[in-house]
Amino acid sequence: MDLFFTENTSWQLAWAIAVTLVSAYAHGVLGLGFVSVAMPLLIFFVSFRTAMIITVPVAFFLTARLTFWGHQTRETLVRFWFMPAMAVLGSLVGAWVYQTVSSLVLLWIVFGALTLFLSVDLLKGRAPRIPENWYLPIGALCGFLAGITETSVNMGAPFLLLFFLLTVLSTHVIVQVCNLCFFVGKLVHITTLSIGGAGSPGVSLEEWIPGFIIAPLCLLLCNQGVKLREKVSVETYRRWLKIILFVIALMLLGRIVSMTGDNRADLPIEGKNTVVVTID
């Protein structure tokens, strides 16, 4: 029987679906951040493999909606083509990282990405603005790094936000370019997860079904969030989101510290995706 269904209890699957739905709504309100919210919450109670299987199909459709149902998609792609292109290359590297390193290393990557995500707003007004002729090399580097974290821990937003922090681009352009990078990254992500490797068995068609089933509901919730974003200031939501993610980051750090001296941190690579990370 498929590993996805045998390694998870009913309450774990219920938790994964509930977190995914809430995160989809938050994604619509904020324009991005679906996996930045979902992944840190999911990996407390389910394996990395389960978290990927549930969220990747949903993320694929959410990013497609926010990329191709917007305005001036073609103009944005022509101007920033190098970022999704480098995100594809980075995603291939990230898939190798996911298959190669231990679950403890992946937790550190999640913590680092989450910390960077939370630091972006603190850097506003203090970080220098880069000239437009430097957009290509710096944007390409950030796109590449985002691709790595996109497929290794399913969190590509932090490095993209770091780049746009250094620019004076409009919010619309930022959201659309980020989602372009997420979209191509998810194409690579679905392909590499389906193929699998030494560190994790390939995801079968049956295992993808739950994520694809809840994707339409997530799209509906995302659309509701978009409508709210168009009518109401999102600063209150952003403030609450940062508080929640800060608490999650502290909890995650505590879990990493506890696992450092735990025998589970020394498990072979083959075991990293079948060990459930729980809160003691």
pLDDT in tens, 186-223: 999 999 999 988 777 889 988 999 899 999 999 999 88
- Residue 278 domain-assigned (yes or no): no
Flag whether pLDDT at 275 surpasses 60: no
Under a CB-based contact definition with an 8 Å cutoff, are residues 122 and 64 in contact? no
Whole-Å CA distances, 3 to 48, 107, 148, 200, 229 = 12, 21, 25, 10, 39
- Residue 45 domain-assigned (yes or no): yes
Burial 174-183 (b: 16+ CB within 10 A, else e): bbbbbbbbbb
Q: What is the model's pLDDT at position 196? A: 85
The residue ranking higher by pLDDT, 200 or 142, is: 142
pLDDT in tens, 224-240: 887 877 676 656 666 77
Flag whether pLDDT at 253 surpasses 90: no
- Residue 232 domain-assigned (yes or no): yes
Average pLDDT, the chain: 81
Flag whether pLDDT at 160 surpasses 50: yes
- Residue 23 domain-assigned (yes or no): yes
pLDDT > 90 in the chain, percent: 29
When divided into structural domains, the chain yields a total of 1
- Residue 279 domain-assigned (yes or no): no
> Residue 262's pLDDT band (boundaries 50, 70, 90)?
low
pLDDT > 70 in the chain, percent: 84
> Dihedral sign, CA of 251, 257, 261, 267?
positive
- Residue 280 domain-assigned (yes or no): no
> Residue 16's pLDDT band (boundaries 50, 70, 90)?
very high
HSE, side-chain direction, 13 A CA sphere, residue 171:
6
Under a CB-based contact definition with an 8 Å cutoff, are residues 110 and 39 in contact? yes
How far apart are alpha carbons 266 and 236 in whole angstroms? 42
> Is the whole-model pTM more than 0.95?
no
Q: Which domain holds residue 27?
A: 3-271
How far apart are alpha carbons 62 and 218 in whole angstroms? 8
- Residue 277 domain-assigned (yes or no): no
pLDDT in tens, 67-98: 776 556 677 778 889 999 999 999 999 999 99
- Residue 276 domain-assigned (yes or no): no
> Residue 274's pLDDT band (boundaries 50, 70, 90)?
very low
